[in-house]
Amino acid sequence: MEAYALTDVGRVRECNQDYIYSSSDPVGCLDNLLLVADGMGGHNAGDYASRFMVEELNHYVKAREEGLPVQVLKDGICQVNRQLYRKSLENPVLSGMGTTLVAATTQDKTLYAANVGDSRLYLFREGALRQVTRDHSFVEEMVAKGQMERYSKDYQRRKNIITRALGIMDRVEVDFFEEELLHGDLLLLCSDGLSNMITDEEMALILSEHGSLKYKVEKLASQANEHGGYDNIAVIVADPQISEVRPC
């Protein structure tokens, strides 16, 4: 795998509550690891929550010597969530803090992803961008029930209300996804500071351009800032480098 990661404070916020981690090399028993967290909470609580989640999950995975990818991610996320929740009870300054998380790892030709909240993972294949993860948000729940139209004015107004986060309760429900990867695929992990600022079509156009992963990531972040940069921006673009198999 090859990957490039970037986080940017944006043009409005004074504090960056997004936190990222990207390793193309093995981390513990995983072949690689990509993490994006978007914190929430007053003062520095959101910054603390996202950093704690990413750093402690990374430490947990490094210490795991064996295990299937989904089980390793599940055990790690649940353990760090409990630790983060206890921190919020012990320190009044951290009360009410929480964070989203999207995590990914690849093994052989399979993508394993996990998410809590509305940070996203997309799969870019043959010029088309498809969201793999599902947002845990009020508007997406309303869309699923047929009570709201996606991208309507009401959807846009209320899309920042999330229904699931890490650190706010002792237990958390994590969603997992598996995808078979093909030659030429790219992975895009991001916070809503990117996905709320530019459309999927704009992201796909940038990922289609010639250039390095660094160029694509920096252009995605730049475009989000050009559109207002109202939130912190976190972006990881990864090339799983799946070999092209040709029949004999």
> All domains of the chain, ordered by start, with CATH?
2-239 (3.60.40.10)
41: left (phi over 0), alpha (psi -120 to 50) or beta: left
- pLDDT tens for each residue of the chain, 248 residues long: 999 999 999 999 999 999 999 999 999 999 999 999 999 986 679 999 999 999 999 999 999 999 999 999 999 999 999 999 999 999 999 999 999 999 999 999 999 999 999 999 999 999 999 999 999 988 878 877 888 887 688 877 787 788 999 999 999 999 999 999 999 999 999 999 999 999 999 999 999 999 999 999 999 999 999 999 999 999 999 999 998 765 44
What number of other Cβ atoms are within 10 A of residue 74's Cβ? 15
Residue type at position 85 = Y
Q: Is 179 within 8 Å of 238 (Cβ atoms)? A: no
- Residue 42 half-sphere exposure, CB side, CA atoms within 13 Å? 4
DSSP character at residue 242: P
> What pTM was computed for the model?
0.94
Q: Is 7 within 8 Å of 21 (Cβ atoms)? A: no
